[in-house]
Structure formats: C-alpha cells, structure tokens
Amino acid sequence: MIISRPQTGKVRTRRNFVMSFLVGLFLIAPWVVLPEGSPLIRLDIPHRVFHLFGGLFIPQEGLILWFFLLTMGLSLFFFTSVIGRVWCGWGCPQTIYTDLFDRIGRFVLDSKYGKKDASIVGKYTVYFLWIVVSFIASFHWIAYFVSPYVMLADFVNLSFINQTYFYFTLFFTAAMFIDIGFIREQFCRYACPYARFQTLLMDEHSWNVTYDFKRGEPRRDGKTKIGDCVACNMCVVVCPTGIDIRDGLQVGCVACGKCVDACTSIMARENKKTLIGYFSLKQIETGAKIKWIRPRTVIYAILLTVVITGAIIQLVTRTPMSMIAASNKSMPPILIPDNKIRAFVALRIQNIAPIEKEFQLSASDTRHGKEILIRSGEENNRFKLGSGEIKSISVVLETQSLTEQELNEGYLPGSIVLKNAEDPDERLEKKLSLTLPRR
C-alpha cells in the first residue's frame, strides 16, 4: 500500500473544487424529488423503470440505452485523445475517495499516517471513520436504485433486516473499505481496464501530464548539474501509484497532477519553470503548439456528434407511452354472423410520462381502410394511468362485414392505436396480422 506525501498547488486547488462538486452532486442527486413527485435520478429495477431528469424510461427503449452507452464510450475516446486521462485524475471515484481517505488519515494521525509506529488507537479510529464514509457512500449509491427516504426511515425504525438493499449496502461498504483503504490506486495500475487501452487512444499531440526531458535531462549527479532536474525525486514521493513520471507515459499514471505541483514548487526555488506539467509529447520535443485538430480527434468528434444528434432526435420524437400487442394463441380468430371476424388480443400498456394521463384505444383494418370495433371493458375504451403505471388487458376486436373475396385473403392486416385522450397527436400504433379462419 502506497501512502503518498500531500502536496499543495494550483492543480491541487482546482482538483479540490472539482472533486467537492462531484461528491456533492453524488450525495444530493438521489434525494431530489421533482414537483410532479418523480425522483431526479433513479433506476427502479423492481418496477423496471428509469427516472432521469423528469423523464421515464423503460427496458423496451433499447435504442435510447444504446445511444447512451455509445455516447459514453465515444466521449471517453474523444476526451482521452485530446486531454489524456482527465477522467482518472479528476473524476474517477477511485481517485476521489482515495484522496478523501488520505485526508481523514492525516487529520487523525498527522505525520504518523501510513507509518508502522502510528498508535493502535489512532489506526482503528481511522478505520472506523473509513467505514463510516464507506457506508455513507454505499447508502447513496443504493439510493440511486431505492428511495433514500424509505431506506432512512427503515434504518431509523430498525426495520431494515429483511430488506434486500440492506445487504447490498453492507456489501458495497465492505468492498469500498477494502478497495479504497488498502488496494487504493494500485487498482488503477494493475486492474483498471481503461489504463490498458489509454495508450491506444492517446498520441504525441495529446495534452497530458508530461515530463520535459529535453530541459530536465541529464539530471543532477552529486554537485554536477547538467540539466534542470535537480533529482529531488519529489515527483515520485507525491505520486499515489509510486511511478516515476520521468520514465515517460506509463499505465500507472492517473494524471492527478500532484507531481506537477511538486515540481513547480521545487523549480520555483531555482527561478525556473516546472519540468512537469500539462504538455503534449510533441510540444516538448519540438516546441510546437499543440495540434488539437488532427485525424484522430476529428473522427472521434464526428462520430460523437452523430451519436449525440441521433440521441437528441430519439428523445425529441419519443412517444411517452408503451404498448405490446399479441394475439391470443389459445383463442384464434373466429367467423361470426354477417361475415364478421372476431379476434382476441392481449395488450400490455404503460404510461412512461412523468404525469398521469388518460388514454384511448382504437383499431382499424389497414388493408381496406375500415374501422374495427374494439371492446376493452372500459367506457369508450378510455382509461387513466399514473406515471409508470402498467395496465394488462385482453381486448376483443370485431371487424365490419367482409366480402367473400376479403374472407379468402387468408389474413387481415390491422392496427391498434393508443393515443393520449387529451392530445390526439400523441399516439402509438401497433400492427397486427389477424389470421382469417378457414371455412
């Protein structure tokens, strides 16, 4: 386990602001309830709905999920190619919570933090506080799946033992305590998959934490000073993964910038600019300006723009209702007097709008342009559904009188239309193929 030395500086100050914002957002978001009563963000697995900023999404909307995942992946590709491992150093929970655990350890043990001669009481106090932080973080992580108000009430009333979320919370608490407290950023070095392919996404123009070897090398050797590097090794001492940035780009570098602040403070004593900073490799080698627009970044930007545009179109044109229609296999269509066909269809309807809505059902014969009578058991085939509510019903379809020629066509293409009773333009149509009975 590596305990790096704390380091102050401009990068550290900026990271403190970003990390405080991200942790605050993580802790506050699950508690926010919108005016219509829906949570700001929640993945409600038992009810199979996902609340996101006032929108309600269901598993059947796979295209939207596909757009979301593709946007995340391409964003990772694009930003890594442009500004390196910015996610690892500035936004990754592994980095943020490791930093928070270190602050707790230093607050309790001061300079003895991470040393073998630290007091037993102090060590266990640190462990206890780590467990508390792990529990709070895990509680809020589960709160993205279960209402935090319900969980809090259960914990206060001591009625959480039989709740599934309680055991998930315990599991994540233990996992976080072990991972952040002891594995720490060695996970980034040896286990993180992103670290393995980040070198494929970056090139010599990527803006990342880099050592200026042209100015720094060769390093000071005893009293003989040739390059600007004074061989103080502060960049290694403050590195949370224990690497030497002077050896070049490595998998273990999370671009946290602690070595930048360390080198800046040391070089300031020499009245020189830092040897470690946010540069591109090409910038160091030739002194040229960073080439932001290049084939790699252009391709990623175009793909990301296309995907985001597709996602926006999909969201704007999205109909906030869902309907699954299936013919009843056990009750095939039958011929009734006056050459009419009667069919039985099972419907599963869900309101995926954030508010209650009234819906109306209708059906039609799409081949001949005739209306089909639909009986749903509801007055005028109208019914109300609350946000996220599901209604499963069996309906009876009855065609108008068919001619002999129409009866011999073998099947009847039809459609069932579900529309918002208050806004007819908001409608959803499902095609049906009704098999005509043989005579």
Which pLDDT tens digit goes with each residue over 33-48? 988 888 999 998 888 8
| Of 123-127, 303-307, 409-413, minimum mean pLDDT range | 409-413
Query: Is residue 335 within 8 Å of 437, Cβ to Cβ?
Result: yes
Nearest CA among 185, 188, 192, 179 for reference residue 240: 185
Taking residues 358-378, what's their average pLDDT?
Answer: 87
CATH 2.60.40.10 domain span(s) along the chain? 321-435
Report d(CA 57, CA 352) in Å as an integer.
6
| pLDDT, tens only, 251-290 | 888 999 999 999 999 999 989 999 999 999 889 988 888 8
What per-residue confidence (pLDDT) applies to 225?
Answer: 65
Radius of gyration of the chain (CA): 31
Beta strands 208-211; 55-57: pairing state: unpaired
User: Looking at the domain covering 321-435, what would its CATH class be?
Assistant: mainly beta
Distance between start and end Cα atoms, the chain: 81
Query: Is residue 231 within 8 Å of 296, Cβ to Cβ?
Result: no
- pTM of this structure: 0.84
Report d(CA 96, CA 191) in Å as an integer.
17
Q: How far is CA 109 from CA 95, 106, 118, in A?
A: 21, 5, 7
In the numeric block, which tokens belong to residue 237?
């001492």
Residue 188 has pLDDT above 90, yes or no: no
| Torsion, Cα of 57, 58, 59, 64 (10° steps) | -30
In the numeric block, which tokens belong to residue 32?
């926010």
Taking residues 228-257, what's their average pLDDT?
Answer: 90
| pLDDT, tens only, 70-84 | 999 999 899 999 998
Report d(CA 58, CA 53) in Å as an integer.
14
- Would you say how long the chain is, in residues? 439
Q: How far is CA 5 from CA 89, 103, 112, 244, 259, in A?
A: 16, 11, 12, 14, 11
| pLDDT, tens only, 290-315 | 889 999 999 999 999 999 999 999 88
| pLDDT, tens only, 380-403 | 899 999 888 899 999 998 888 877
| Of 123-132, 154-163, 253-262, minimum mean pLDDT range | 154-163
Please give the full DSSP string across 7-59, using - where no structure is assigned: --SHHHHHHHHHHHHHHHHHHHGGG-B-TTS-BSEEEETTTTEEEETTEEE-T
Confidence of residue 160 (pLDDT cuts 50, 70, 90): confident
Query: Is residue 429 within 8 Å of 324, Cβ to Cβ?
Result: no
Q: Is the dihedral of CA 283, 286, 289, 292 positive or negative?
A: negative
